[in-house]
Structure 1
Amino acid sequence: MKWLNDIVNTFQDTNKEILVSSGASPSGVYHVGHLREIVIADAVVRALKQAGIRARHVHVSDNLDAFRKVPVNLPASYEQYLGMPLYTVPSPDDRYGSWGDFCLKPFLDSANKIGVTMDVIYASDKYRSGFFVPAIERSLSRIDKAKSAIQEVSGRQLDDQWSPIQIMEHGRLKNRRFISMDSDAKTITYRSHDDSEHTVRYDDGQVKLDWRLDWPGRWWLLGVDVEPFGRDHATKGGSYDTGKRIAREVYDIDAPVPVPYDFINRTGDTKKMSASKGTGVNAHDVVDMLPPEVVRYFMLRYSPAKRLYFDETDSLVRLVDEFATMKQHPQNELDEQLLFLCTDGLSHPAVSSIPFSHLVISYQAALCDMAKTIEILRRSPEYARIVDEEEAVIITELGYVSRWLEKWAPESLKFRLADEVRPDEFSPEQKEYLRRLADDIAEAPAEADGNWFHQAIYAYKESGLLSPRELFTTIYRVLIGKDSGPRAGWFLSILPRDWLIERLRLMK
């Protein structure tokens, strides 16, 4: 993980605590893309601490941002709140104090579930407490340098109406032209839309810096050393480049070490997820369906510069299986480092040594009963020892299996044992095949495994009763009422023997 090692090497000789910052505007329900930022920040902190360097993660909620558009999951009546700070927009749910909290609080719960520790800072609190006063004063006293930095770095001209500040007027944030500042009285004079002049205090939240100044001002006041951010901010002449210049010429600091990351798209989508448009996979859904170590693994197995694609269906099963394989058999130092970052700080593992794909099938074969699933697994020579050693972990993982099957699993991977079977739906050849197979199974050794059952099925390939394909589709139809299903040999091996024999004889 060269990108991470480079950051650690940058601070190898530092004695101070390194501050890693993440942040987002709570303008809509947080999606899996937001998780990538905090997982990257968390990984940086863990890597620094592992190297003996003190580090801390802060997450800034930009809840003083204006409510700019009504998200798709809110009624049109919310248009009346446009322009208001997010922390003052009413919540659609009485459990939360504002729309900003409605979006943020579940995300913080998601962060906690995956073991990401971070101190949360609310922009509204910082501005209202006067924390941003030095940045406001510095920006306004060096307004020409700030304006030049934006124009020269971004390549766009700012007109005469551009202002470095926003003013709270009648509960809404407005871009207003700055006239003068009285640093002793902590007031500024500005010109309103009707050309009238007004004076307000800037130490109590009535004045907010333009975001191009707010971001580097935050670096200065908080002492940020490292910050991950989306690649849209990392374009040439973009907000990080202008922030870097403003940091140097307005705030007299060096910009933090940047960690730009690419977006997470749904598999098959070309556009990034959007919180306000409701096109994202909700962060709280992801942490409910995936064990915490796998969420981290998904985010960290590739460089932040690589675009990720999230699939809630088949690929999710493979993702968990890939992590389980790496956990059991790390191949190199890179795997060891990744495994540390994925599991450090988690008190209880949630991924067992039994493949997730196997648990998905076993759980359904046990009629979605956890205790019966454990019994089935314990009967398997391949997994009996693992069940004895990891039963608590398996039960935890089955919780993720259950939720995934209920919400995201494709129909092709879902099944349940048919409650009854109708003999008249099977041809004479199919009935004869099933009867003979039942007789074979009745004579099978108690320890017969999936391979034994697979060979028992294949023994009828040359019988002339059915085609090779029908040998399997007939079994699936009699057991689950479908033409396909889990690996047939293994599936038969985990079913209760007496029940299976009766079902194949079309008696149950």
Structure 2
Amino acid sequence: MSPAPLPELDPAFFDAAQTARAWPFEEARKLVKRLEKSGKGEALFETGYGPSGLPHIGTFGEVARTTMVRTAFRLLTRDEIPTRLICFSDDLDGMRKIPDTVPSKEAMEPHLQKPLTSVPDPWTNEFTSFGDHNNAMLRRFLDTFGFDYEFASATDYYKSGKFDAVLLRAAERYDDIMKVMLPTLGAERQATYSPFLPISPISGRVLYVPMKEVNAKDGTITFADEDGGDTTLPVTGGNVKLQWKPDFGMRWAALGVDFEMFGKDHQTNQVLYDRICAILGGTPPEHYVYELFLDSEGQKISKSKGNGLTIDEWLTYASTESLGLYMFQKPRVAKRLHFDVIPRQVDDYYAHVAAYQTQDVAARLENPAFHVHYGDVPNPEVPLSFALLLNLVATANAQETKVLWGFISRYIPGASAASHPELDKLAGYAVRYFNDKVKPLKTYRAATEQERAALQDLHDRLAAHEGSIDAEELQNLVYEIGKTHQFEPLRDWFKAIYQVLLGEDQGPRFGSFIALFGVAETRALIAEALAGKLLKTA
């Protein structure tokens, strides 16, 4: 999922991009204007990562969305301006609490408040520190999705001197930074606050202590160390790091970041980041603030509560591309991130990909598939929907995909897992999703007298269609029976079919289901439902 090979695109894409309305283009246009004004010859994108935990679904979303904007920028500029994406790890941050996932909390306790890259790796001897371990997990995570990025470590940047010039400027403009920060703090916090966090030479901990002196001429700070005595340290060379809010602005100024997006929880601090960036001689980057995810109850997702959906859980039941679609759609609207959103995203993804094949260039740039694939949209052959496969799994009681292929190969003569690998992958997702997430919640109900008569009629009249795979003809038959038995509105007839035969409130186009499942099998299913056997099974 790296940026598309833009030079291979039809030149018409570059022309159409100038008026494209999709949100990545709107954000990229701001960046084009920024570079036109500054004369800068490169666009630098950044995403941030806190390595106290492992990468998560939000990490994917932030990098994927940033890459969408980056791709749009490359199109708007005809790929003539170089772009870079830095994924920055704040690994010099002190370990404020011990993660629940470590093998031994007791072994980690002596290292509380030490920089994450000074805390031993709690799992293996493969990495030199806890921070290095989690950084490696981040890089592995991003590489899995094929993102094009440069990894940056705060520890390396602070210690190597890459931040030294701006840190010295922070010492010179200490009072200006304090004027920005102090009004945002309570009285007690104001009394001890400093944007500089020294790393104690005695304990190795990151200290939250007031400054006794900030010497701008020498570039040093003086503070009371953990033994009670005064210690003076240079602000350069990794001896000191900045508090996280000033650190945002410092990093933007030091690196010349042009674009960074972040969650709504950062929005109130954005003005602080920007002002500190300006104080330190930089120009604040273009921002994009996205909404946070909600759980199934509409509550904000919390890592500590574990009330969200992990990326591993999503990818157990659906493709990366379906997750990419979820991230693309309405980033500024709070959306539920729960298992029940997956089927719709899967089918919508394939619908967008199918539509892309017949669209003109302008429409393609508005199509989510273009942004999900960063311009390099495939054309997989997927003739069946995820929703239809889920119902097939249910009625066939399938525990593995080869059961489904018995039905699929009859519906699509000559089709096999080898000839339709994308469909086979989708069938595998359907088997897992149904058995794990749908089956435990299925609830069948008995038919009413009206529904019983209509279902019996459907059962009897299907006999004349034995062996048919004509989905449209079968769908018309279902419609006809619903009208004959005077269902008003007609959707109540289909709702009855789904609830009585499939144990769900909604389902696929039923004519397509009959064609796939089989006429004889559908008649048997109706007979079982009317005999009350499905109720007993449930």
TM-score (norm 2): 0.72
Provide the C-alpha distance between the structure 2 equivalents of 1:471 and 1:146, rounded to a whole number of angstroms: 65
Q: How does 1:74-153 map to 2 (within 5 A)?
A: 74=102, 77=106, 78-94=108-124, 97=127, 98-100=129-131, 103-151=134-182
Provide the C-alpha distance between the structure 2 equivalents of 1:285 and 1:449, rounded to a whole number of angstroms: 36
Residues 404 and 96 (structure 1 numbering): CA distance in 2 closer, same or farther, change over 3 Å?
Answer: farther
Provide the C-alpha distance between the structure 2 equivalents of 1:475 and 1:38, rounded to a whole number of angstroms: 40
Provide the C-alpha distance between the structure 2 equivalents of 1:461 and 1:260, rounded to a whole number of angstroms: 50
Give the match's secondary structure for 1:318.
helix
1:38 is aligned to 2:69: no
The amino acid of 1:307's aligned partner reads A
Q: How does 1:235-384 map to 2 (within 5 A)?
A: 235=268, 238=269, 240-249=270-279, 251-271=280-300, 273-302=301-330, 304-313=331-340, 315-329=341-355, 333=362, 336-337=365-366, 338-344=368-374, 352=382, 354-363=384-393, 367-374=398-405, 376-380=407-411
CA contact (8 A) 1:189 1:199 kept: yes
Residues 93 and 442 (structure 1 numbering): CA distance in 2 closer, same or farther, change over 3 Å?
Answer: farther
Residues 475 and 11 (structure 1 numbering): CA distance in 2 closer, same or farther, change over 3 Å?
Answer: closer
Residues 95 and 476 (structure 1 numbering): CA distance in 2 closer, same or farther, change over 3 Å?
Answer: farther
Deviates further, 204-213 or 259-268:
204-213
CA deviation profile, 1:292-339 (whole Å, cap 9, x unmatched):
22222211221x3322221212x3211222232233236895663333
Give the match's secondary structure for 2:420.
helix
Q: How does 1:177-256 map to 2 (within 5 A)?
A: 177-179=210-212, 188-193=221-226, 195-200=228-233, 202-235=235-268, 238=269, 240-249=270-279, 251-256=280-285
Residues 41 and 384 (structure 1 numbering): CA distance in 2 closer, same or farther, change over 3 Å?
Answer: farther
Give the match's secondary structure for 2:353.
helix
Provide the C-alpha distance between the structure 2 equivalents of 1:365 and 1:407, rounded to a whole number of angstroms: 15
The amino acid of 1:34's aligned partner reads T
Provide the C-alpha distance between the structure 2 equivalents of 1:33 and 1:472, rounded to a whole number of angstroms: 36
Cα drift, residue 94 of structure 1:
2.8
Residues 384 and 156 (structure 1 numbering): CA distance in 2 closer, same or farther, change over 3 Å?
Answer: farther
CA contact (8 A) 2:401 2:431 kept: no
- Choose from 193, 203, 208 the match for 1:162: 193
CA contact (8 A) 2:44 2:256 kept: yes
Query: How many positions carry a matched residue from both structures?
Result: 479
Aligned-pair identity (%) = 22
CA contact (8 A) 1:114 1:287 kept: no
CA contact (8 A) 1:350 1:393 kept: yes
Aligned Cα RMSD in Å? 4.6
The amino acid of 1:18's aligned partner reads A
Q: State the partner residue of 1:50.
A: 75
CA deviation profile, 1:232-285 (whole Å, cap 9, x unmatched):
2222xx2x2122122222x212111111122111232322x2334434322333
CA contact (8 A) 1:179 1:191 kept: yes
Q: State the partner residue of 1:62.
A: 90
Q: How does 1:384-463 map to 2 (within 5 A)?
A: 391-405=420-434, 407-409=436-438, 411-412=440-441, 444-450=465-471, 455=477
Residues 344 and 402 (structure 1 numbering): CA distance in 2 closer, same or farther, change over 3 Å?
Answer: farther
Provide the C-alpha distance between the structure 2 equivalents of 1:414 and 1:115, rounded to a whole number of angstroms: 41
CA contact (8 A) 2:29 2:73 kept: no
Give the match's secondary structure for 1:447.
coil
The amino acid of 1:124's aligned partner reads T
Structure 2 unaligned segments of length 5 or more: list them: 1-22, 445-453, 486-491, 529-538
Provide the C-alpha distance between the structure 1 equivalents of 2:394 and 2:493, rounded to a whole number of angstroms: 23
The amino acid of 1:316's aligned partner reads I
CA contact (8 A) 1:262 1:305 kept: yes
Provide the C-alpha distance between the structure 2 equivalents of 1:350 and 1:452, rounded to a whole number of angstroms: 27
Cα drift, residue 492 of structure 1:
4.5
Structure 1 unaligned segments of length 5 or more: list them: 416-432, 464-468
Provide the C-alpha distance between the structure 2 equivalents of 1:378 and 1:334, rounded to a whole number of angstroms: 34
Deviates further, 218-227 or 69-78:
69-78
TM-score (norm 1): 0.76
Deviates further, 23-32 or 404-413:
404-413
